[in-house]
Structure 1
Amino acid sequence: MEGERVLERPANQWTLTQRYTERAVEFIERSRSRPFFLYLAYSHPHTPVFASKEFWGKSPRGHYGDTVEEIDWSVRRIVETLTELKLDRNTLVVFTSDNGPWLTMRQLGGSAGMLRDGKGTTWEGGMRVPAIFWWPGRIQPQVVTGVGSTLDLTPTFASLARADLAKDRVYDSVDQSPTLLQGAPSARDVVFFYRLQDVYAVRMGPYKAHFVTESSFGEGTQRTEHDPPLLFNVDEDPSESFDISARHPDVLEKIRALVREHRATIQPVENQLNRYPPGEKRGEEGLRPWGK
């Protein structure tokens, strides 16, 4: 789609990645004389995986690897465009992902390496993703091991652009620009891991507590509540293999207090997936999901 106009149905997914990239390059070229924001969310390597003929069947990692190699080519194409237009020193490029591998798709779903489990879970394999920030002349090469979240992108971008955030809302985020530009420690020490509307796990410094664990999407519902919560030091044990809850009741109590404070700030809102399409009246049966 382009706006609300359907360009192609069904979409030719074999060429989708390259077409996204070319559109992105065209946008950068059109916007070269003014500030711009480009959000580029590739459809792949989410299943079903596709790649153009230049990449299909070329990776030793199979078809999943083919899609990753094409995205790698695409990122290079965008970075080269910024460099050729002399925009690279005035443009921040962020490369990241929304979740870990979808392990139920087996070879087509990716791999979390030594991290436990994958997409749909609050184990590290489902939540910990790469984050690469590139800004020549402003960000020095470094590896940051502190905790961060994609929630932090909004205040970080605003700070770098010297823009003010709206004052009429609460932000579950922190400005990470000092970490990027000055090598300061991460401004975030706590992360709440949700599945739908529930807090399943909490990261506090090196510690991560699991109050609830559940199997990945597509594996059926295997929900387990833990009392006391499972506790791991994910700096020392990134695979979350060794529960240390019995040795650190003090840490668990601090994390429980964080959860209580966090929940006290939450206000229930309507599930947007239950809204009626525009113009359709609400019946006595209440709200229903889209498309039903």
Structure 2
Amino acid sequence: RFANKSKRGPYGDQVLEMSYAVEEVLKTVKELDLDEHTLSLFIGDHGPHIDICNEGGSSGIFKGGKGTFYEGGIRVPAIARWPGTIPRGGVSSKLISSLDIFPTLLDIAGGTLNKSVIYDGTNVKDSLLGSNDNEGTNDIPEPEEDYKHHDILFFYCDDTLFAVRYKQFKVHFYTNVIPGPNHAAENCSNEGLPNDNIFLVETCSEGKKRDHPLIYNVERDPGEVYPLDPNKYEAMLAQVQEEIK
């Protein structure tokens, strides 16, 4: 039904099929008159699998993809829809993790967290349901306003802390190997398909430990192209180390 219907090949066809499936679910919810009683969340779990060429999608301006801790691997789209409750057309750059979904939905449903259990996520209900000053626009709030719930996010590979997002900064203690500029020419010459059966297998031990933390301002430099001088951000790094403790 969806084969060869898009201009992006099999990957684009799959996006069309997914879009159709989401539409069918939302249509059914509306037909059952449950639209204003249903919160719908659409969120990605990781970035594109760029190792498998055009089949894996594109990370756009972001560096890296699935299996890395660069923005291309961990920054994903998220859409929340709840007619009558969530303002329509709003855009937010608030720092939220998928780990926040469980405690947030539990609170919305009227439940309470088991206090004897430590949860990684934070309840971000106010951010999710609150009024949005940017309703109907594509304006992004000033970064200083966006860190009320999450000042910091930790990115681990097994027990190794690879990177930290602290406010507008991203600090890499370890970095992943990512496909070089010749990757597509060398591995994707079959009309955008992999020349071989490529499957991403990268162990945590393959990460490169940095002699000095690699710092980016991902608000101004989301592509993580221009590293900052660690000597000029010693106070910020000290605060990050305190948070890690």
TM bin, normalised by shorter chain, reads: 0.7 to 0.9
Map of 1:188 onto structure 2: 150
The answer for unaligned runs of 5 or more in structure 1 is: 1-53, 262-292
Q: 1: distance between equivalents of 2:79 and 2:212?
A: 36
Map of 1:78 onto structure 2: 25
Map of 1:271 onto structure 2: none
Contact 1:63/1:108 (8 A) holds in 2: yes
Map of 2:175 onto structure 1: 213
Give 1 or 2 for the bigger CA radius of gyration: 1
Q: Please tell me whether residue 257 in structure 1 is matched to residue 219 in structure 2.
A: no
Map of 1:201 onto structure 2: 163
169, 187, 209: which one aligns with 1:225: 209
Higher relative contact order (CA 8 A, sep 6+): 2
Q: CA deviation at 1:219?
A: 6.9
Contact 1:94/1:134 (8 A) holds in 2: yes
Map of 1:91 onto structure 2: 38
1:70-113: CA deviation from partner (whole Å, max 9, x where unpaired): 00111000000000101111011100111101111001001111
Q: 2: distance between equivalents of 1:234 and 1:175?
A: 24
Q: CA deviation at 1:247?
A: 2.4
134, 157, 168: which one aligns with 2:105: 157
Q: CA RMSD in A?
A: 1.6
The equivalences for 1:3-152 within 5 A come to 54-141=1-88, 142-152=90-100
Aligned length in residues: 207
Percent same amino acid among aligned pairs?
Answer: 37
Q: CA deviation at 1:249?
A: 1.7
Q: CA deviation at 1:246?
A: 3.4
Aligned amino acid, residue 82 of structure 2: W
1:238-276: CA deviation from partner (whole Å, max 9, x where unpaired): 0011111232121112112222x2xxxxxxxxxxxxxxx
Q: Please tell me whether residue 242 in structure 1 is matched to residue 226 in structure 2.
A: yes
The answer for unaligned runs of 5 or more in structure 2 is: 133-145, 179-199
Contact 2:67/2:202 (8 A) holds in 1: no
1:173-203: CA deviation from partner (whole Å, max 9, x where unpaired): 1111101221475522211011223110000
Contact 1:152/1:176 (8 A) holds in 2: yes
